Structures are given as C-alpha cells and as structure tokens.
Amino acid sequence: MPFKHNAARRHRIGKMKLKVTNWPEYEAGLRRRGSLTVWITPEALSLWQAPKRMTRGGQQRYSDLAIETTLMLGMVFGLRLRQTEGLLTSVLQLMGLDLAVPDHTTLSRRARTWRLSDEQQGGRLSGEGPVHVLIDSTGLEIYGAGQWLEEKHGARSRRSWRKLHLALDADSGEIIAHVMTDQDTGDATQVEPLLDQISIPIRQFTADGAYDGNPTYDAVTSHSADAAIVIPPRVNAVDRSNIEPPSQRDRHIAAINTDGRMTWQAVTGYGKRSLVETAIGRYKAINGRRLRARSFDAQQTEVAIGCAVLNRMLACARPKSARSKVAAT
C-alpha cells in the first residue's frame, strides 16, 4: 500500500484534504439514523405475529421479522436483552399499539435459530449488473473462561475470538456477504462460502496477499469466469508468464517485476481495497469489538444483525467526498 511505501518520509508529505460535497443531505441522513422509525418499520409491525404453522409442534408467537427488529433495536442503541425488551415495550405503548414484546429469554432462544434472508442481507437483486467485490477478515473477541480467570484471579491466558469474513460492494459500500468462523480458519478457505451468497456476476475481485493462491483464483473463476482478480502475489512469487496462456496471477507477477508494485496498484485499482478495511472499522465502532452472545449460533445471528445495521445506516446517509487541496509542505 502507498502509506507503507512512503512510511520513512511520511512526516514530510502533506495530508490530503477532502470536502463533503453533499453535506446537507448527509447531515440529515446522520440524524435519521437515530430515528426509531428507521429501525421499527411498518412492515415489521404488520407482520409481528408469526404465521400459523401447518405441521405438528408448538406455535411461535413472534415472527422472524419481529425478532430481527427487536435484536436490531438493541444492537443499534447498545442495550442488553432485558433493556431492549423495556425500550420496545415503552415505544409500542407510546405508539398506541397493542403488541406483545418478546421477553429476553425468547430473544436469547430464537437468536440461536434465526437467520437473515438472502434478500435482506445484500440489498442487491440478481438482475443488476456485475459487482466489484472486496474481501477481508477481522477478529471479534468473545467472553469466555480465559477472560473470567483473568478478572477473577489475575491469571493470563490466550484470549479466544471469532473471525468475521466480509464481502463488500466497492460501488455502494454495502456488505453483500459475510461468514463467521473460529479463530483457526484460514482466510482463503472462506472465499467460496462468501461467493455462494452473491447471486450476480462479479466484475472484479480484490483482496490482500493473504488470499493469494490457486484456491482463491479457482473459486472466483468458478463463480464468474470473466472476473478480473486483483490480489498482490507474494514477494518471492515466480514469474511463469512464458507459459501459454499466462494466468492472471502470472500477468500480475510480470507487471510488478517490470513496472514495480506501486504502478501495479495504480493500474489495477488495488487501492479500493481500503474500503473494506473502512467497513470493518465502522463495524467495530458501531457494534463493538466483542461479541455479546455466548453460543456460536447466537453469535452468528449477532454478526448478521450487525451487518444489516451497517447496511441500513449506509442507506440513510453516505457522504460524497471530493479532494479539495493538499496541505503545503
């Protein structure tokens, strides 16, 4: 990345200044993010009761959309399940609606089986054009025995965490796919599960060097044969461009050996990968760096709700920035 290339002389380079060109619209959208009407939609209220099941077994009282709305409300305002139950009860009373509110035990139980629908997750329809996919992963802490021993007895142990893999639409900034795994899962192994959640063709696939290898290229090519794959090869990668026809990876290696890595980044548009890092930072700033749920299934639900929250916030407001000037050195 350019900031690593210029690290030794960073203090001599003026910072780029950006100006938000749609500030009135963006400011109104930021205020709208705090509105309860954004998170409690009329559709959720009309479908609050669960549909009658036609098979044997107990009848659920609340629909999946009601559970989603309640969990999303708690995540947005940073509340635990009991406080979320109290907030939603007061809101429905102020609205004059005679609707029962899921209690905290129901929310905890349903969170282990709830899944976000494909249509809600990405917000993109199959009829739209090819997409530029950015992929990266990050770690999320979980509260386990190691943390309890450290707080109770001062004993230090290795912290446990989960790994969140995200696929981002470079054009809209939306999270269009996500997978949560344990801490020992490799990044490249989750490329295919992420791409399975994307139903539209891929125009370009961009990822960092951790995804370099044939499994990633094979997974992307299997999904979209014409997709351009932009992954920086390893430093010791061997140039095999003399083999006909040369693969995309071989062409990247030859271009880097000829023009340098900085030029290759500018030509291929690799710098856009920073957008997925920004999305990861946004996720941790809004939803937190630690998972609240204890079971793995409930943690998957928490991550899915967190991604849906970010997409809905992005739909409310997204800044349009333009470079204004560079500070004098």
| pLDDT 10s digits, 149-176 | 666 666 665 567 899 999 999 999 999 9
Q: Please name the residue that has the structure tokens 């997709």.
A: 227
Q: Which of 88, 67, 62 is nearest to 77 (CA)?
A: 88
Who contacts 269 (Cβ-Cβ below 8 Å, separation ≥6)? 204, 206, 230
Convert the pLDDT of each residue in 187-208 to its tens digit.
999 999 999 999 999 999 999 9
CA angle, 272 then 278 then 281, to 5°: 160
What's the half-sphere exposure (Cβ side, CA atoms, 13 Å) at 41? 11
CA 304 to CA 292: how far, in whole Å?
13
Q: Is the pLDDT of residue 250 over 50?
A: yes
Q: How many residues does the chain have?
A: 329
pTM of the model: 0.87
Residue 5: pLDDT band by 50, 70, 90 thresholds? Answer: low
Could you give the CA distance from residue 84 to residue 103 in angstroms, rounded to a whole number?
A: 9
